[in-house]
């Protein structure tokens, strides 16, 4: 089974033939919503909208621990996280699709580990490579089958949100080595690693990061959403082909 976490621009999967929805209780509280089970092209998947069905949960308030815990109970073969980002690197222009390979975490105050109890030994998690290489490879195979162009690699800077960054902050992030900016990659990625899940992200570039692009003016959000909607069509196409090869 493939698990898909939908982000901004993807609160549901139109191609999904829904069989049922299930409320899951976890030791870490409530997930963002019920898990949606169904099939795409006769292959089973489970889907969770990270921000809730109505996109009402801001990035810093998402219960990432509950979300990942709920998904792992159903033993998915892979977990694919759909994220939207602002592009810093020149080739990451609005509408492009990228599969990041690294993360820099700038978040704070989020519940970021399952190993925070003092009644058991300290557990250290190897996070050298934050995304599963096999899951990333499957995304590239699916993109090829779907005739979609996907950029291989990039450093995903995860900021706290929900506000967007200043131009000065983007300059700093670029100096740190970041290629794109989003708000939901952490602690989602490390929690998946702690649970032993094969996890990768596919990112839709919704806009140029602040101070980047041909124009440095602030881009109206309605323009950003229009670009994101179009990019998500490509992401959905890739996911539809991914379910075919996920069982291989």
Residues 6+ apart with CB under 8 A from 157: 88, 103, 104, 106, 173, 176, 178, 179, 180, 181, 182
**51 known ligand binder:** yes
**208 known ligand binder:** yes
Residues 6+ apart with CB under 8 A from 146: 234, 237, 238, 240, 241
Helix residue ranges per DSSP H, the chain: 64-72, 133-145, 167-176, 188-194, 221-246
**19 known ligand binder:** no
**78 known ligand binder:** no
**50 known ligand binder:** yes
DSSP-based helix, strand, coil % in the chain, nearest 5: 25, 25, 50
**53 known ligand binder:** no
Reference 101, options 137, 140, 152; nearest CA is 152
**198 known ligand binder:** no
- Please give the backbone phi and psi of residue 119, each rounded to the nearest 5 degrees, phi first: -95, 10
Reference 183, options 154, 197, 203; nearest CA is 203
**10 known ligand binder:** no
Angle between helices 221-246 and 133-145 (to 10 degrees): 100
- Give the annotated binding-site residues for substrate: 183, 207-209
- Give the annotated binding-site residues: 8, 50-51, 183-184, 207-209
- Give the annotated binding-site residues for phosphate: 8, 50-51, 184
């Amino acid at each position: 089974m493939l698990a898909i976490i939908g982000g901004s621009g993807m609160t549901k999967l139109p191609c999904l033939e829904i069989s049922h929805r299930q409320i899951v209780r976890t030791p870490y509280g409530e997930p963002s919503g019920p898990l949606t089970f169904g099939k795409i092209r006769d292959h089973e998947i489970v889907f969770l909208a990270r921000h809730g069905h109505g996109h009402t949960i801001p990035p810093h308030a998402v219960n990432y621990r509950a979300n990942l815990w709920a998904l792992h109970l159903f033993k998915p073969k892979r977990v694919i996280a759909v994220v939207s980002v602002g592009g810093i690197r020149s080739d990451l222009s609005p509408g492009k699709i990228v599969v990041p390979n690294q993360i820099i975490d700038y978040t704070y105050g989020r519940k970021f580990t399952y190993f925070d109890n003092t009644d058991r030994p300290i557990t250290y998690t190897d996070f050298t490579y934050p995304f599963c290489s096999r899951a990333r490879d499957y995304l590239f195979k699916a993109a090829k089958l779907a005739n979609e162009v996907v950029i291989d690699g990039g450093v995903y800077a995860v900021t706290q949100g929900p506000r967007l960054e200043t131009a000065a902050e983007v300059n700093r992030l670029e100096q740190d080595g970041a290629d794109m900016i989003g708000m939901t990659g952490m602690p989602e990625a490390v929690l998946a690693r702690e649970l032993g899940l094969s996890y990768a992200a596919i990112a839709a570039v919704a806009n140029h990061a602040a101070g980047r692009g041909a124009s440095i003016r602030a881009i109206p959000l309605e323009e950003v959403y229009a670009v994101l909607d179009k990019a998500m069509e490509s992401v959905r196409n890739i996911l539809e082909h991914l379910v075919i090869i996920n069982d291989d």
